[in-house]
């Protein structure tokens, strides 16, 4: 990405997050900033400066309270993200506090759909992202998401 584009993207992402914080739509910004945020809901890196709290979220599976998983990838991805969000809320955080996310996909055919859903779920948040194609623990799961958040 050209430096002018990178700078403009970074300013746009930062402005969007500040706007959400000012409107009371997010609890607090993480104590840092994304480096080279992408329009695809991720950043090349996150610089965290003096965090007060760090939350490590174990791999969240695409299961509901009964342990059931939907059969379609899109529904599984949204449910896994909602499960990540539930853990963040337990710590008084939101998606805007995410600084690092690792997504495990059971099949590389889901890459594009995963990217679309991630962008939809995260909104203006742009954590550092790694996607790994893996043999996931339960054969019915197509996705698992782990995360690190700071406040």
28-58: pLDDT as tens digits: 556 677 777 777 677 788 788 877 899 999 9
Report the DSSP pairing between strands 143-150 and 98-105: antiparallel
In this prediction the pTM is 0.75
Tell me if 134 sits within 8 A of 105, measured CB to CB.
Answer: yes
Number of Cα atoms under 13 Å in the Cβ half of residue 122: 28
Tell me if 151 sits within 8 A of 97, measured CB to CB.
Answer: yes
Please compute the mean of the pLDDT values over residues 86-109 and round it to a whole number.
97
15-31: pLDDT as tens digits: 555 454 445 444 555 66
């Amino acid at each position: 990405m050209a430096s002018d584009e990178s700078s403009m993207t970074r300013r746009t992402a930062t402005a969007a997050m500040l706007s959400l914080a000012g409107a009371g739509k997010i609890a607090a910004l993480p104590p840092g900033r994304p480096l080279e945020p992408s329009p695809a809901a991720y950043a090349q890196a996150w610089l965290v400066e003096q965090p007060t709290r760090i939350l490590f979220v174990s791999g969240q599976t695409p299961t509901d309270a009964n342990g059931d998983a939907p059969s379609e990838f899109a529904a599984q991805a949204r449910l896994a993200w909602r499960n990540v969000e539930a853990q963040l809320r337990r710590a008084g955080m939101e998606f805007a506090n995410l600084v690092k996310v690792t997504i495990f996909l059971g099949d590389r055919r889901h890459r594009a759909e995963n990217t679309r859903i991630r962008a939809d779920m995260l909104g203006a948040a742009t954590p550092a992202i790694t996607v790994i194609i893996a043999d996931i623990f339960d054969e019915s799961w197509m996705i698992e998401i782990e995360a690190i958040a700071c406040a």
